[in-house]
Structure 1
Amino acid sequence: MKRLTHLLPLLASSMLLFGCGMLGAQEDVPPADTAETSSESVDTTDTGADTSDTTDTSKNEPEDLVEYYKPHYPDHRYEFVGEGNEFASYWMYPQYVTDTHIQFAMNNGGTQTVRVYEYTENELREVFVRNETYFRENFIERLDQLESEQPEEIILQGPLEVGHSWESPSGSVSEITDLRAPVDILFGSFEAVEVTTTRDDTTTRQYFVHEIGLIKSEFENADGSIVTSELERAIEEPETQTIQVYYPDDQALGLDTSQMELSFQTNDVTREVLAAALKDIPDYTGDGLIGPNVTINYLYLNEDGRVYVDFSRELVEEMNAGSGTEMLILQAIVNTIGEYYGVEEVVLTVEGNPYESGHILMEAGQAFEVDHSQVNE
């Protein structure tokens, strides 16, 4: 199992080559003083690609490396099937993309990891990894404030020539070992660029194709056992997450719960998706947990382990509730957001100021706690 931890970063890292060209709206950066440091399945037929024509990698120039591998399938989930290990099959989804970075979520059935990559005209590099991440957040915006859980890994580097090699900060050594390696997989038949990476006593071979990216990986352990993962399909559909939502019961005496499915396309902003969900809880008989004109100004998990969420002034203005109901609404919001991020404390503010109404007054930096004492059985 220890050696498997070397395999997964290499498999996941190379998926950077999907989605480099997608641009769109990004999460808003929270004010500096608020933080501590603050479907359709795609295959080789419907993509329009003629897989009978092999890619002429001999014409590739170093400065064209990223453009050469830029894909044309935004908002797709890429599914890999594998053998040799229970985690060899996985899917990846491009969550956020800028002109210099891309963030992927990777799920292998056992855990979900978020990985951020930086790309230049001549290099693709994994710069941030966060394991066990089941919420959606744009980490690209806060890279200078965050610490990666794994050292940086150089995924691909020009020039694309057989024999070109590089060493990553992680300690692995990679070399381009073939420009026309024949690969037959479920997704199609290709001639691929082969990159061989060694680390300690293990070897990983990865295969990349023009406008598709990584199509296959082979991980060979010291004992000769091999774990293989290969691209099966790319499905055009949103990334979905199931969230537990809380809301006052009919008598406003406690909290009821239900589950909702959040849907995200690439570059969708979490605070906007979550705000829309809080306004339209199917099982809630009220007008919505928050008013129709309420917006979330910023929402993020801070390094202090607390979630910071700032609402527009309409949160208070449109609440129209007595003190008991108001406290239930706030507790429902805190429980919903806190559980989504997996934290115990939520700092809830309005227009950057501590929450204040005719019934409740919070102090600067004071957090609401996730509390289930009023949740109905």
Structure 2
Amino acid sequence: MNKWIVLTALTLLLAACSGKDKVVENEGISGGNGAVNEEKPEKVTNVEPEKNKVEAGNLSDFFMEDGAVAQFTGDGIEFSSYRTRTEWLDDTHVNVYEDNGGIEMIKSYRLDEDKIVVLQERPSENEDDKVTLEDLANMEPNKTYLSFPLEVGTEIDVWKVISVDDVVETPLQKFTDVLVLEEKFDDDSYNRSYFARGYGEIMREYHSEEDDAPFKVTSVLESVE
């Protein structure tokens, strides 16, 4: 017998047996016409978390602890140095009292599910000016402070995210994974705010060109008590 005929017959026999096995294995998932619906196994891959995106996490991480007093050292103009005091009223409402030696500002925030909103920003009326939870109860947000998730290019009101992994050296310590927001103006000048989890805003910058000369004002975290 021709060897090619033998090999062909053997191949057909093996194919028939293999097909029969498939029907048995897939019994119960075949279609109504007796056809077999073979389900391909899903390809499993190791998915790494997105490194260029900042999720909300614990929003309270973008403020200091209750009672924390922070000193920011400034350069460029008078009053660029200032001191802040953080006051938590409950788990979702926080006041930050900011004093630059010329004026004290009161900034009140509310933490929502995936964003932080500003309820008020106003000058303190006197030394004993305090904001209570009752004062904030009926206040509507006047702007968004931070909203999540964040990635480069995200816009929050007049601000745009330009980095989520910056490295910032301060007199207090070196910070990594710093979130940077930028506000640009028509004359190409801009403000930048830098945020680090566990501290909140750690630095502010203003840049401009005046008479073809660069002008810069900075305020950077120096100490926390």
TM-score scaled by length of structure 1: 0.41
> Which residue number corresponds to residue 182 of structure 1?
167
Equivalent residue of 1:163, what SS?
coil
1:126 aligns with 2:111: no
> Which residue number corresponds to residue 69 of structure 1?
62
Report the Cα distance in structure 1 between the residues aligned to 2:98 and 2:113, rounded to whole angstroms: 25
Equivalent residue of 2:71, what SS?
strand
Aligned-residue offset at 1:94: 1.6
Q: Which amino acid aligns with 1:203?
A: Y
Aligned-residue offset at 1:194: 1.0
Larger Cα-atom Rg: 2
Alpha carbons of structure 1 residues 67 and 90: separation in structure 2 relative to 1, 3 Å: closer
Report the Cα distance in structure 2 between the residues aligned to 1:99 and 1:132, rounded to whole angstroms: 23
Alpha carbons of structure 1 residues 65 and 159: separation in structure 2 relative to 1, 3 Å: farther
1:141 aligns with 2:134: yes
Aligned-residue offset at 1:129: 2.1
Aligned-residue offset at 1:114: 1.2
Q: Which amino acid aligns with 2:123?
A: N
1:161 aligns with 2:148: no
Give the unaligned 5+ runs of structure 2: 1-48
1:91 aligns with 2:83: yes
> Which residue number corresponds to residue 256 of structure 1?
none
Query: Higher strand proportion, which one?
Result: 2
Report the Cα distance in structure 1 between the residues aligned to 2:69 and 2:153, rounded to whole angstroms: 33
Over aligned residues, Cα RMSD in angstroms? 2.7
Instruction: Tell me if the contact between 1:57 and 1:180 (Cα under 8 Å) persists in the aligned partners.
Output: no
Query: Which of residues 216, 222, 225 is equivalent to 1:232?
Result: 222
1:202-351 → structure 2 map (5 Å cutoff): 202-221=189-208, 223=210, 224-235=214-225
Report how many residues are paired.
Answer: 171
Of all paired residues, the percent bearing the same amino acid is 25
**Deviation string, structure 1 residues 221-268 (Cα, Å, up to 9, x no partner):** 463421100000001xxxxxxxxxxxxxxxxxxxxxxxxxxxxxxxxx
> Which residue number corresponds to residue 194 of structure 1?
180
1:114 aligns with 2:94: no
Aligned-residue offset at 1:69: 3.3
Aligned-residue offset at 1:130: 2.5
Alpha carbons of structure 1 residues 68 and 115: separation in structure 2 relative to 1, 3 Å: closer
TM-score scaled by length of structure 2: 0.66
> Which residue number corresponds to residue 366 of structure 1?
none
Aligned-residue offset at 1:159: 1.2
Report the Cα distance in structure 1 between the residues aligned to 2:148 and 2:160, rounded to whole angstroms: 11
Give the unaligned 5+ runs of structure 1: 1-55, 168-172, 236-377
Q: Which amino acid aligns with 1:99?
A: D
Shifted more, 89-98 versus 74-83: the winner is 89-98
Aligned-residue offset at 1:179: 1.4
Aligned-residue offset at 1:154: 2.2
Alpha carbons of structure 1 residues 87 and 216: separation in structure 2 relative to 1, 3 Å: same
